[in-house]
Amino acid sequence: MKTKEADLSKAGTKPPRTFLIVDHLPKSSVPAHDAAAPSALDRRAFLKAAALPCLATCALVSGCARPITTSSALAATGNTSPTPWGMATENESQFVVEARFYEKQPNKKIKCKLCPRECVIDDRERGYCGARENRGGTYYSLVHSRVATAHIDPIEKKPLFHFLPGTVAFSIATAGCNVNCKFCQNWEISQVRPEQVRSTYMAPQDLAGLAKQYQCPSIAYTYSEPVIFYEYVADAAEAGHSQGVRSVVISGGYIQQEPLRKWCRTVDAIKIDLKAFSEKFYKEVVNGQLKPVLDTLVTIQKQGTWTEIVYLVIPTLNDSDAELKAMAQWVKSYLGPDVPVHFTRFHPEYLLTNLPETPVATLERAKAIADAEGLHYVYIGNVPGHPAENTHCPKCGRVIVERQGYTVAQAHLKKGKCEYCHQAIPGVWS
Ligand code: SF4
């Protein structure tokens, strides 16, 4: 992996950080989708794209992971800010749109109906996520088109293994989050207010245009929590579709049912971080609740939107046999055996630096438990080169997508079917 360092001085009280422009792209990706599908960005094209000063970058080690940065200048978006960093703070109003899910209450109060927290907010106050503000009894998102980081990632890095494998996603985030995971690897943007990080204005059409320009068949809303920039996701997904670009959401799934159903009709895939299978963990480590996340998964499944689950296995906190077994049984009962489950390796970060990395043996134990419960597609993540990165045909047992890290080395799929025995493999392949 080649890295190139760049200085980045952030707004707020934290010292400047160094971030990484990371070349994680496969050396020889073999797209597993059909010939008619959008082609994978080849290495030369990616390097060309990554070298352009207009791209913001971050390094990412899991679906919702790793220090995040802002762009130096996303000049291609047409941002005309005179500042060298393209900060648009001189025009805050361009990021402000009325929120789509809230109720007005007496005395200019509002109740937010976007996520299960249901914040009740006085005039001139903000909700828990810090990204939404009551102004005179009308509720606003402050982060529409307010991109705090952008990067071109392999789709396998999200991870989505059954969605256009071997392609890249134009990946963006705004600041803010509606939970506070003690293990967050993107806390520098997820746990701050929008004004505390440099951001660049990127209108939905611009975002879709950039994705297309850099040969990304999808836009990924990721790194922080797309729920809190809900309106931007919805608008950008529509703009993307009008230009032939799909949208994937990488989320903790802490969202109410109505906005979720609308998202399902708008985006093409939603990856959910199922952070544990106990309310205790959600309360103590996430500051959220498990039940709404399970409801989210059931709804996505019912709506027919492609989904995959990531379960970050944290030593001593969510790695017991009983919890893993209960989770696998729930997935099979409520979602069926074909939803991919990724057990990913924890790295100490943010407020959980006292715990070690997840032993590979623990991940293998988790996979064995889920396999035994009858799940068809169980993966191990953040362990590059592990054989459990591969997709096996559940009927004939052959490897049908062989991966090495984020690289798709070989694919034996034809029109979504196993090339050897013609078993249909669930996913979005073209
Ligand atoms: S989206 Fe933000 S403001 Fe709305 S309920 Fe959730 S945390 Fe509160």
pLDDT above 90 for 52: no
Q: What is the pLDDT of residue 103?
A: 98
- Ligand 1 pocket member 255 (CB < 6 A): no
Q: Tokens in use for 216?
A: 């990304």
pTM over 0.75: yes
Burial of 106 (0-12, 13-18, 19+ CB in 10 A): exposed
pLDDT above 70 for 146: yes
User: How many helices (DSSP H) and strands (DSSP E) are in the chain?
Assistant: 9, 23
| CA neighbor of 24 nearest in space, from 129, 152, 114 | 152
Angle in degrees, 0-180, between the axes of helices 230-242 and 257-266, rounded to the nearest 10 = 20
Question: pLDDT tens across 95-129, in order?
Answer: 999 999 999 999 999 999 999 999 999 999 999 99
What would the DSSP string read from start to end of 349-395?
BTTB-SSPPPPHHHHHHHHHHHHHTT-S-EEEESSTT-GGGSEE-TT
Ligand 1 centroid to residue 196 C-alpha, Å: 18
Question: pLDDT tens across 190-236, in order?
Answer: 999 999 999 999 999 999 999 999 999 999 999 999 999 999 999 99
Question: pLDDT tens across 323-357, in order?
Answer: 999 999 999 999 999 999 999 999 999 999 999 99
Mean local confidence (pLDDT), 42-59: 35
Ligand 1 centroid to residue 112 C-alpha, Å: 6
pLDDT above 70 for 387: yes
Least confidently predicted of 40-54, 180-194, 216-230: 40-54
Higher pLDDT, 19 or 328: 328
Helix (H) or strand (E) holding 308: strand 306-313
Q: What is the pLDDT of residue 81?
A: 37
Question: Which whole-number Å values give the CA distances from 312 to 133, 252, 272, 347, in the listed order?
Answer: 32, 12, 11, 10
Judge whether 345 and 391 are in contact, CB under 8 Å: no
pLDDT above 90 for 279: yes
Mean local confidence (pLDDT), 281-309: 98
pLDDT above 60 for 261: yes
Higher pLDDT, 62 or 347: 347
What number does the ligand 1 atom closest to the CA of 118 have? 5
Q: What is the pLDDT of residue 74?
A: 40
Q: What is the pLDDT of residue 70?
A: 37
Mean local confidence (pLDDT), 136-155: 97
pLDDT above 80 for 294: yes
Ligand 1 centroid to residue 165 C-alpha, Å: 33
Q: What is the pLDDT of residue 91?
A: 86
pLDDT above 80 for 45: no
What number does the ligand 1 atom closest to the CA of 132 have? 3
Mean local confidence (pLDDT), 366-382: 98
Cβ atoms within 10 Å of 255's Cβ, excluding its own = 28
Question: pLDDT tens across 68-90, in order?
Answer: 333 332 434 444 333 333 444 55
Higher pLDDT, 20 or 204: 204
pLDDT above 80 for 159: yes
Q: Which residue, judged by its Cα, is nearest atom 6 of ligand 1?
A: 115
Residue 49 pLDDT grade (very low, low, confident, very high; cuts 50, 70, 90): very low
Binning the chain into helix, strand and coil, the percentages to the nearest 5 are 30, 25, 50
In percent, the amount of the chain with pLDDT more than 70 equals 79
Choose one of 103, 126, 228, 258 to mutate for the ligand 1 pocket test, by most ligand atoms within 8 angstroms of C-beta: 228
Q: Which residue, judged by its Cα, is nearest atom 3 of ligand 1?
A: 127
Judge whether 201 and 77 are in contact, CB under 8 Å: yes
Choose one of 115, 121, 232, 287 to mutate for the ligand 1 pocket test, by most ligand atoms within 8 angstroms of C-beta: 115
Amino acid identity of residue 4, one-letter, is K
Secondary structure letter of residue 269 according to DSSP: E
Ligand 1 centroid to residue 152 C-alpha, Å: 28
Residue 375 pLDDT grade (very low, low, confident, very high; cuts 50, 70, 90): very high
- Ligand 1 pocket member 50 (CB < 6 A): no
pLDDT above 80 for 301: yes
pLDDT above 70 for 297: yes
- Ligand 1 pocket member 119 (CB < 6 A): yes
Choose one of 105, 122, 178 to mutate for the ligand 1 pocket test, by most ligand atoms within 8 angstroms of C-beta: 178
- Ligand 1 pocket member 132 (CB < 6 A): yes
Averaged pLDDT of the chain? 84
